[in-house]
Structure 1
């Protein structure tokens, strides 16, 4: 699964990388992003890419209880096209979730050791995501989820799942509202090659109250 990630780049950098214009997105460097928080998400409408603020934890339009979002922070690639909570968004409202790293907890003899995972070059990338607008009692709320798949060779030692990471060449296809469903499914695969790197970090990241650079710094002996 993917339950924490980081996004430390400014909106201007996101705008340039994704070719998107900001739409009311306040964003500061975030080192320990947790579900239910509001983040900048890339969507496309009528060919226009926008960065929009959305809350992590998908709420389908038909949801009766806001708490459902806590259970829908991730969607499995293998079933996203058929699950009632996700299938409509998969067909009509896909998004890119900007990130520059994410966290996983490796089980060992002493319990769980958090690990920080990022691109080898330390650059920006995007998780494959879905979004939906929920009409809540206080007005409409835009929410999103991150799609996961089986772990690639690099990350199998950490966890059996990983988020779907899209390369820049795949952004347009993922956001294309007219894309055939079968072609979209082919994008939901583990990242190939040795593009990722990771290192153990302190347990500071275990608490979402901790949101500072030390969360992702390597452990020192």
Structure 2
């Protein structure tokens, strides 16, 4: 699964990386993003890419209770095209969720050791995400989930699952507004390379609590 991540970049870096022209209202770097919080996401409205914030934890448009979002922070990429909760979203509500690393907890004899994992070859990257709009009366929620997959060889000693990190060249396909057959998208996900060059190091148990948001969360543990 993916339960925490970071987005340590400047607004200018993000606008340049994703060729965006709009100001990111409310932008700030984040060091310990947790479910239920807002995450920076990019969609395509059919005319241009749009950047803004989505609440992490998918609340489908048909949901009766918004608390379902806490159970839907992740979606398994292998089966998403078969699930009613995700099938329609795969067809036309795909988004990029901007990050520069994620945290995972490695089991050991001494408990669980949190690690920060990032790409070796580039700083910013995007998780493959799905989003939806929920509304009831005047209340509206725009929420998202992060797709996950089986761990690659690098991640296997740390955890058996990992988020789907889109190769740079595939980001445009993912947010292209064209409606696609969910099975086609499922095939796309299954054929993504699993050889991302990753790096990892131990970090402080500060990240165990979502209340901790300081930069120290992602500093190497000495």
Q: Per the shorter chain, which TM-score range?
A: over 0.9
Q: Determine whether 1:200 maps to 2:218.
A: no
**Counterpart of 2:26 in 1: which secondary structure?**
coil
- Whole-Å Cα distance in 1 between the matches of residues 69 and 196 of structure 2? 33
Partner of 1:184: 185
**Counterpart of 1:53 in 2: which secondary structure?**
strand
- Whole-Å Cα distance in 2 between the matches of residues 81 and 192 of structure 1? 19
Runs of 4+ with deviation above 6 angstroms: none
Partner of 1:16: 16
- Whole-Å Cα distance in 1 between the matches of residues 133 and 9 of structure 2? 26
State the superposition RMSD in angstroms: 1.7
Equivalent residues in 2 for 1:7-86, closer than 5 Å: 7-22=7-22, 25-86=25-86
Gap regions ≥5 residues in structure 2 = none
Partner of 2:105: 105
- Whole-Å Cα distance in 2 between the matches of residues 117 and 91 of structure 1? 30
How far did residue 52 of structure 1 move?
1.6
Aligned residues of 2:11 and 2:24 also touching (Cα < 8 A): no
How far did residue 168 of structure 1 move?
1.6
Aligned residues of 1:25 and 1:53 also touching (Cα < 8 A): no
How far did residue 11 of structure 1 move?
2.4
Render the CA deviation track for 1:18-65: whole Å, top value 9, x for unaligned: 123436631211000001111220000114101021100011100110
Gap regions ≥5 residues in structure 1 = none
2:217 pairs with 192, 215, 218, which one? Answer: 215
Render the CA deviation track for 1:48-84: whole Å, top value 9, x for unaligned: 1010211000111001101000000000001111212
Render the CA deviation track for 1:106-151: whole Å, top value 9, x for unaligned: 0010110001000114500000000001104552111010000000
Render the CA deviation track for 1:167-186: whole Å, top value 9, x for unaligned: 12101111123245444224
Aligned residues of 1:25 and 1:51 also touching (Cα < 8 A): no
- Bigger mean CA offset, 124-133 vs 176-185: 176-185
- How many residue pairs align between the two structures? 220
- Whole-Å Cα distance in 1 between the matches of residues 23 and 39 of structure 2? 12
**Counterpart of 2:102 in 1: which secondary structure?**
strand
